[in-house]
Chain A
Amino acid sequence: MNRNVIWKVVLILAVLVVFIVAIIPTANNPEPIKLGLDLKGGTHLVMRVNVGDAVRLETDQAAETLKTQSQKINLPALVTRRVNDFSFMATAPAGVTTADYEKVAKDFLGAWDMSRTPEGAMLFKMKTASITAIERDTIEHAVETIRNRVDALGVTEPIIAPESGNRIVIQLPGIDDPARVKDIIKTTAVLQFRLVEGSPGPDQAGVLASVPENMKSEVEVLPGTREDELGRPVGVEYYAIRKNVPVTGTDLKNARVQKGQLGQPNVGMSFTPDGARKFGALTGANVGRRLAIVLDNKVMSAPNIKSKIEDQGVIEGNFTQQQASDLSLVLRSGSLPASLTTLEERTVGPSLGRDSIRQGIMASAIGFFALIAAVLLYYHGAGINAVLALLLNLVILLGMMAYFKATLTLPGIAGIILTLGMAIDSNVLVFERIREELRENKTVRAAIEQGFARAFGTIIDTHMTTIISALFLFQFGTGPIKGFAVTLLIGLFASVFTAFFVSRVIFDVVYKPEARPSTISI
């Protein structure tokens, strides 16, 4: 055999071995080809991060800073009002010049532009660059927090990726309780420790009335749960809570489920050194008063402070075991910087995925064997050549998917078998050309040479058109369809190789040029 041909055969066998190795499952890699959510079961979520929340918070803090800093240098108190998410208005008492306040603003509110309203109030507007920076940080922080939570849930191979338009795409393969997972992801989990004023009660107005007059502007009324003597929830209880937040969830070091005195589950927390200092100062200075534990603007409990506490605390609130462990999980993973809104969800249960795999493989196998039968029937000996090329195509396709860690989806399974149906096209083009050349009384070798040479341009063109549409598919598609496009693209490249190179080498081996073959089975 020609040396050249031997090298080609070696190359083909090497390709075969490399790709077969890639698709054989091993102990380290039990699933060499990754299955998509539609086959494995799982949840695909697109969430919008409401970045306005974070900007608004920053605006409120800036207004607060301006107020406190001007009070520190004994300026008369300002009245501030938020105009929208990124601007607020500050009005000085009548007759007081604003020049001094402006100096304070210059020192402390560098990220703000100030203008004056016709009425003489100061209007502060956040600089666009700062808004962008806050939005970017918020998204990053949200991705980080969600990742922590998803990891804590033990989801394997999740995808959590920011997308344009303040969105986060979350893919969670193999989860079996999507409702719970979504709850955990979406909980903002802003934990605050704040002092209670006045006395709590079932109606909001009454609660506010119990607060001393001078404290009224310093408190807000938040809902909590009303309990009977046995600790069972019986309705809503309102609390007047100080606006000032001395200790927050960021001061926590750890949170875990533990058992209360009656065996009911609650969440125990321990503080960071800095947090412990703050918590110690807060509790030490307020022994005998009530301290509210506020989670996402809801009062979880408001125990009396019996003595100075530094290292740990307990959140009680009629939890079930699961609620307590979910709460400790979100507290450990930190709070979200802004609320999330679900824009899209696609959840496939595991049993449906199982059905899809079974049906997809079944349909593909039947299609594949029908294809082989048709090719063998029509082309006899050359048909074997085409089938070998097809099998190699399949091996390369699967091997490349394993190698590139591409995801196999249900449309992807359809894509594999469809690619094989299309790959036959190249063989047919060549074989028909060879037959034509034979009809024109060419020798077997000349017919093979000419057949391949003349079909080449056409094969490239037909592949190019399909590649163009596969690229559009990829660009357009979401999850499963992207998987389809990837399968198609890989298959198309593989088919140029198999139909053109491999098939040619097989002919060269079977009908050796030096043997001057006079018959060909085609």
Chain B
Amino acid sequence: MQIFVNTKYDFVKWRFSAVVFSLVWVLIGAAFFLKNGINWGIDFAGGANIVLKFKDKVPMDKLRADLADASIQQYGKPEENSVLIRLPQLGREGDYAGATVAKLNKDLNPESADPNKIDLNYHGRDRLFDLLFTADPDAKGTNEASKKYYTDLATSIISKRSELGLFTNISQVSSVAGVTSADSRVLNQRVFLGSFNVLNQETVGPQVGRELQMKAVWAVILSTLAMGLYLWLRFDLMFGVAAIVCIVHDVLVSLAFLGILRGEFSLNIVAALLLIVGYSINDTVVTYDRVRENRKKLKQRMSLEEQLNLGMNQTLSRTILTSGSVVIVLVALILFGGKVIHEFAWILLIGVIAGTYSTVTIVPAVAIAWNNLTGRTHDISGPARSARIEEPRNEAPARKRKAV
């Protein structure tokens, strides 16, 4: 199978409309950002995120009443009974998420006031072990073997919990392998099932948030400059500049998408942007590599516009194929990868598409503008010049071949 063989698209002609299109897109994104403000995630703004899974339906009203300044939203599907609680930054350092979870535990689980009972949806293995070992329902004594027996028992109960997400009924505890009826009796008296389990909790203090913000901005700027520098050294100044413009374009287009979706600005998004900086430039490198190779080879007079068109058409099938293969992978990640990497994969997808698009539109636009400004130094003046360059290949005459 072959596609895009011997194409003769006049990419250069489209560059003005493409620049306008990109500008409009970025401006729309900017307008969204101006209107809604930047939706800084916890990583940069600081604050706390807590994901709770409830035994029954989420007690939204209670949560809202308990946590006045929090934003509370459903997490995942409704039947998962989970919520994401976001708390704004407090302006001081401390274990914000931990304190909030403790408060919710106190308010939503009245049994937690009894120090002799443990919450099997909240506490861990060690606490359960302590309880079982001291109560010793299976009469194992206080030796090492007994310790191991109850440690194993506590471990299997707690791993059952992580398998289920949380216990919704005490009978689930009794049905864990190894739990005897004597154990069940003790557990029935001494444990209770709290209304929620903590799936995830994060606190980012103001200081760390500020630092991450600075680090993110610098990482994106410096990697863009590093890329431009590398390509300037490998190719020439015109291309270095065009590459930087191209990267800035791809990053801005992806950011505009984030703005339009009102997506959250998180560490993962910055990671995606950094990857876009490095990856979306690949198409441009391949194309320009070919343009450079052609310049050494071509004998006829040729303007930069014609050289660019030739190079882009020659590498077109490769460009489509490789972007296509990354797109396939990203679509799989978007569809099946789960919530945590969803936005990351989306931004990358937009960045990869923008990268391919900018290779055939933005880069030629900048290169041609540069060439015009510098007195058309990148045109090939004709046979007199290329005659000095030796034809590099020297091989046997063509034989019979066949492409399948």
Contacts and interface: CB of A to CB of B under 8 A. Distances in A.
A312 interface: no
A176 B125 contact: yes
Interface stretch (A2-10, A133-141, A418-426): A418-426
A492 to B, nearest CB: 10
A381 B404 contact: yes
Given A425-B282, A432-B317, A472-B274, A352 B51 contact: yes
A444 B401 contact: yes
Contacts of A422: 279, 322, 326
Interface stretch (A56-64, A85-93, A336-344, A502-510): A336-344
A177 B127 contact: yes
Contacts of B200: 347-349, 352
B369 to A, nearest CB: 23
Contacts of B310: none
Contacts of B324: 374
A23 B325 CA distance: 27
A1 B268 CA distance: 50
Given A345-B95, A442-B395, A432 B208 contact: no
Contacts of B207: 343
B123 A465 contact: no
B268 A461 contact: no
B8 interface: no
A450 to B, nearest CB: 7
B396 A468 contact: no
A272 interface: no
B46 to A, nearest CB: 9
A458 B215 contact: no
B321 A476 contact: no
Nearest to A379: B1
B144 to A, nearest CB: 15
Given A153-B126, A519-B402, A411 B344 contact: yes
Main secondary structure of the interface of A (DSSP, over half): helix
Given A360-B337, A377-B1, A518-B399, A417 B332 contact: yes
A229 to B, nearest CB: 20
Contacts of B216: 476
B278 A435 contact: no
A359 to B, nearest CB: 3
Interface stretch (B159-167, B174-182, B358-366, B375-383): B159-167
A344 B203 contact: yes
Contacts of A458: 285-286, 289-290
A473 interface: yes
A320 B115 contact: yes
A356 interface: yes
B277 interface: yes
Interface stretch (A278-286, A292-300, A477-485): A477-485
Contacts of B125: 176-177
B271 A411 contact: yes
B17 interface: no
B136 interface: no
Contact of A411 (B205, B226, B341): B341
Interface stretch (A101-109, A178-186, A190-198, A243-251): A178-186
A196 to B, nearest CB: 27
A257 B276 CA distance: 57
Interface string B263-304: 000011011001101110110011001100100000000000
Interface residues of B, number: 104
Interface stretch (B25-33, B96-104, B252-260): B96-104
A461 B289 contact: yes
B134 A321 contact: yes
A429 B278 CA distance: 18
Given A446-B396, A477-B267, A425 B337 contact: no
Main secondary structure of the interface of B (DSSP, over half): helix
Contacts of A420: 329
Contacts, number: 289
Contacts of B131: 321
B274 A469 contact: yes
Contacts of B271: 411, 473, 476-477, 481, 484
B48 to A, nearest CB: 9
B321 A378 contact: yes
A360 B404 contact: no
Contact of B102 (A179, A345, A450, A481): A179
A322 B131 CA distance: 8
B310 to A, nearest CB: 13
B400 A518 contact: yes
A458 B290 CA distance: 9
A464 B279 CA distance: 10
A177 B337 contact: no
Interface in B307-338: 314-315, 317-318, 321-322, 324-326, 328-333, 335-338
B165 to A, nearest CB: 5
B346 to A, nearest CB: 12
A436 B315 CA distance: 10
Contacts of B344: 411, 414
Interface stretch (A66-74, A199-207, A363-371): A363-371
Given A428-B318, A441-B398, A421 B337 contact: no
Contact of A443 (B102, B201, B399): B399
Interface string A449-472: 010001001100110111111101
Contacts of A421: 325-326, 328-330
Contacts of A371: 325, 328-329
Given A380-B1, A467-B278, 9 more contacts: A176-B162, A180-B127, A321-B131, A367-B329, A367-B333, A377-B1, A381-B404, A458-B289, A462-B286
**What 7 A-B pairs come out closest when comparing CB atoms?**
A469-B278, A177-B124, A367-B332, A359-B338, A441-B398, A176-B124, A350-B162
Interface of A: 38, 41, 46, 48, 153, 175-180, 182, 320-322, 325, 341-352, 354-356, 359-360, 362-364, 366-368, 370-371, 374-375, 377-381, 410-411, 414, 417-418, 420-422, 424-425, 428-429, 432, 435-436, 438-444, 446-447, 450, 454, 457-458, 461-462, 464-470, 472-473, 475-478, 481, 484, 488, 516, 518-522
28 contacts: A48-B93, A178-B198, A180-B123, A320-B116, A322-B127, A322-B130, A342-B98, A343-B205, A345-B95, A348-B200, A351-B53, A352-B51, A359-B336, A360-B337, A360-B341, A363-B338, A367-B329, A374-B325, A375-B325, A380-B404, A432-B318, A439-B6, A458-B290, A465-B227, A472-B278, A518-B399, A518-B400, A522-B403
